[in-house]
């Protein structure tokens, strides 16, 4: 199961195996819709696109497929586009499936999961920009960007948090590996603030850690 709150509207979207549901702020179910998944695949990622204007709903599945829905809460919803964001290595019965992060400012989609790369897509031009090797033997479990086109952090199944600079060549883009736990990283969030960027990394068994890039140890 995965869920996401709409950033501007009182709406919660919850996805189970192959469908998503919309709930209001009072806990009332508004509608439920199939994602038209292939058999034996599961939804593992949700994102709102263009949330400040006419919202679209992006749904990612553990087979690497992405679908974008317009009028996603209506019976007359429309499939805007669908494509294969990831290929080899998916799906996995015990992995993360596919994890996604969306950069609204650059309309960039970042995808990873049970693969050994982080793939960056330019959605306006509908083309792959680059593949960045994760350098990890475990799946990527969460992603977060600074939304300025430079830093990207990935939480991994071995408890590491890996920092990448998207401006560098793929072979040199991993600039830091932070090791605070041995357990699965549930989520990461990157926030840029003075005097430097920080991120939060909640772990499966040991709570939440905050890292500052000026200091490698956990705070």
Alpha helices, DSSP H only, in 62-156?
A: none
Confidence of residue 209 (pLDDT cuts 50, 70, 90): low
Asked if 71 and 172 sit in the same domain, the reply is: no
Are residues 139 and 68 located together in one domain of the fold?
no
Are 218 and 211 in contact by the 8 Å Cβ rule? The answer is yes
pTM: 0.85
16 and 77: one domain? Answer: yes
Same domain, residue pair 36 and 133 = no
* Beta bridge partners of residue 64, listed in sequence order: none
Map tokens 């999961």 to a residue. Answer: 113
Tokens found for residue 102 = 């969306």
36-37-40-41 Cα dihedral, nearest 10 degrees: -150
Structure tokens at 168: 């560098």
The answer to whether 119 and 87 have CB atoms below 8 angstroms apart is no
Q: What is the largest CA-CA distance in the chain?
A: 51
Residues 171, 63 share a domain: no
pLDDT, residue 219, reads: 33
Q: Tell me the per-residue pLDDT of 63-104, one tens digit each, with 9 for 90 and over.
A: 999 999 999 999 999 999 999 999 865 555 567 899 999 999
pLDDT for residue 95: 78
Segment 153-196, tens digit of pLDDT: 999 999 999 999 999 999 999 999 998 777 888 889 887 765 55
Could you say which of 57, 84, 111 is where a domain stops?
A: 84
Rounded-to-integer distance, Cα 100 and Cα 119, Å:
10
- Joined together, the tokens standing for residue 160 give 């590491």
Greater confidence, 103 or 212?
103
Lookup: tokens for 205: 């068994």
Look up the domain containing 189 and give its range: 93-218
State the total domains in the chain: 2
**Same-domain pairing of 154 and 133:** yes
- Confidence label for 44 from pLDDT (cuts 50, 70 and 90): very high
- Decide: residue 26, CB within 10 A, 0-12 exposed, 13-18 middle, 19+ buried: exposed
Q: Are residues 201 and 134 in the same domain?
A: yes
- In the block, tokens 């709102």 appear at 48
Note whether 180 and 218 are within 8 A (CB).
Answer: yes
CA dihedral (113, 114, 118, 124) in degrees, to 10, reads -60
> How far apart (Å, rounded) are the C-alpha atoms in residues 157 and 114?
10
| pLDDT tens track for 97-133 | 999 999 998 999 999 999 999 999 999 888 999 999 9
Q: Are residues 57 and 157 in the same domain?
A: no
> Which of 84, 119, 148 finishes a domain?
84
Domain's final residue, options 56, 84, 112: 84
Residues 72 and 105 in one domain: no
Tell whether 155 and 181 lie within a shared domain: yes
Same domain? 61 vs 168: no
The CATH number of the domain holding residue 103 is 2.130.10.10
Q: Identify whether residues 80 and 113 lie together within a single domain.
A: no
Q: What is the pLDDT of residue 88?
A: 63
């Amino acid at each position: 199961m995965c869920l996401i709150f709409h950033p501007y509207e009182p709406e919660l979207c919850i996805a189970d195996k192959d469908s998503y549901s919309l709930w209001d702020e009072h806990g009332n179910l508004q509608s439920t819709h199939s994602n038209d998944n292939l058999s034996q695949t599961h939804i593992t990622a949700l994102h709102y696109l263009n949330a400040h204007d006419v919202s679209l709903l992006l749904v990612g599945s553990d087979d690497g497929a992405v679908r974008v829905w317009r009028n996603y809460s209506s019976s007359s919803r429309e499939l805007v586009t669908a494509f294969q964001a990831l290929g080899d290595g998916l799906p996995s019965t015990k992995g993360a499936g596919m994890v996604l992060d969306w950069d609204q400012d650059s309309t960039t989609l970042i995808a990873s999961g049970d693969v050994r790369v982080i793939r960056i897509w330019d959605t306006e031009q509908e083309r792959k920009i680059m593949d960045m090797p994760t350098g990890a033997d475990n799946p990527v479990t969460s992603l977060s960007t600074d939304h300025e086109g430079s830093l990207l952090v990935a939480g991994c199944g071995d408890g590491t948090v890996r920092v990448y600079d998207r401006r560098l060549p793929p072979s040199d883009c991993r600039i830091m590996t932070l090791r605070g736990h041995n357990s699965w990283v549930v989520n990461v969030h990157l926030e840029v603030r003075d005097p430097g960027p920080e991120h939060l990394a909640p772990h499966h068994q040991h709570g939440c850690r905050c890292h500052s890039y000026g200091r490698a140890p956990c705070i």
